[in-house]
Amino acid sequence: MVGGHKCSDAGGCYVSCLLQWPPPPELVPLGPSQIHLWSAVPSEFHGDLPRFWAVLSLAERVRASRFRFQKERHGYVIRRGILRSILSRYLREPPSEIAFDQGASGKPEIRGNLASGPFHFNVSHSSRIVLYAITSACPIGVDVERIRTFSQIEKIASRFFSPREMQTLAALPADSRLEGFFAGWTRKEALLKATGEGIGNSLRKIEVTLAPWEEAKVLQIDGDTQDQMRWQLRSISPAPGYLASVAFRHSDLELRQWSVTHAVVLN
């Protein structure tokens, strides 16, 4: 979410026309050099609310109960239920038995020593879409945003973008500037989520490419041009009008992409 501003999509587009990734095959083994990305439209899973609630931990139920509005509460329950359903496919555990911890920087992680070795995941949501990233290769971060205009784009950019990024943004053609802003935002936030840091003032410490026609790259991190070489960025679109970025600390990984279907959450 950019700058704490919420927005809603116009129209009544549902999963059949919104998501553009294919449904998964019956088996989705996670290769050692792969990132699996799953996109979902939570509103399509309201009928699964009771079952999702049943698999949540006590801490998740407490958090859900703290949401003031039913829409936000249901959205949280569905997103967590889908996450547990996806993770259970990889971990070979019932969704209700998956336990989470917080890492040193507060980033969620799977509790315990997994027989299959390291396992990393990250989640992001914006408007109608939620995105899940899964890999066994390295720490990972993902951010998705719905591309939309809002009145404070320059003010938000000046607060979170570096002076060089602001110059790059201003130099973009007018019809590319909005996409450039969201490309920069998602790339920076994905990297911070991979490291476990909060956005705070940290977004300004990261410089990335912004032009839609440029390769997604980290240019420098807190003035260090060497540290950027250890991180990779990929920009993707899970649905028309949405832009997402994935950050990972690895030389190169293959991205595989699917849409979450009811068959996925029923397994």
On the CB side of 265, CA atoms within 13 Å amount to: 26
d(CA 124, CA 137) in angstroms, rounded, equals 19
* Parent domain of 111: 15-138+251-266
Same domain, 259 and 244: no
Per-residue pLDDT of the chain (267 residues; tens, 9 = 90+): 454 433 334 333 444 457 889 999 988 999 999 999 999 999 999 999 999 999 999 999 999 999 999 999 999 999 999 999 999 999 999 999 999 988 767 788 898 766 567 899 999 999 999 999 999 999 999 999 999 987 788 888 998 899 999 999 999 998 999 999 999 999 999 999 998 876 655 787 889 999 988 999 999 888 666 666 789 999 999 999 999 999 999 888 999 999 999 988 886
The answer to whether 19 and 259 have CB atoms below 8 angstroms apart is yes
Cα 205 to chain centroid distance, Å, stands at 20
- CATH number of the domain bearing residue 228: 3.90.470.20
Residues shown for the chain: 267
Other beta carbons within 10 angstroms of residue 240's beta carbon come to: 11
Tokens of residue 203, six digits: 């977004």
Q: Note whether 126 and 227 are same-domain residues.
A: no
Does 25 share its domain with 128? yes
Q: CA 47 to CA 78: how far, in whole Å?
A: 10
As a whole number of angstroms, the distance between CA 216 and CA 147 comes to 17
Q: Are residues 241 and 258 in the same domain?
A: no
Q: Can you give the pTM of this predicted structure?
A: 0.90
Q: Is residue 167 part of a domain?
A: yes
Contact status, residue 76 vs residue 64, Cβ threshold 8 Å:
yes
Are residues 174 and 202 located together in one domain of the fold? yes
Task: Decide if 8 is inside a domain.
Answer: no
CA atoms within 13 A on the CB side of 97: 6
Whether residue 71 is found in the same domain as residue 127: yes
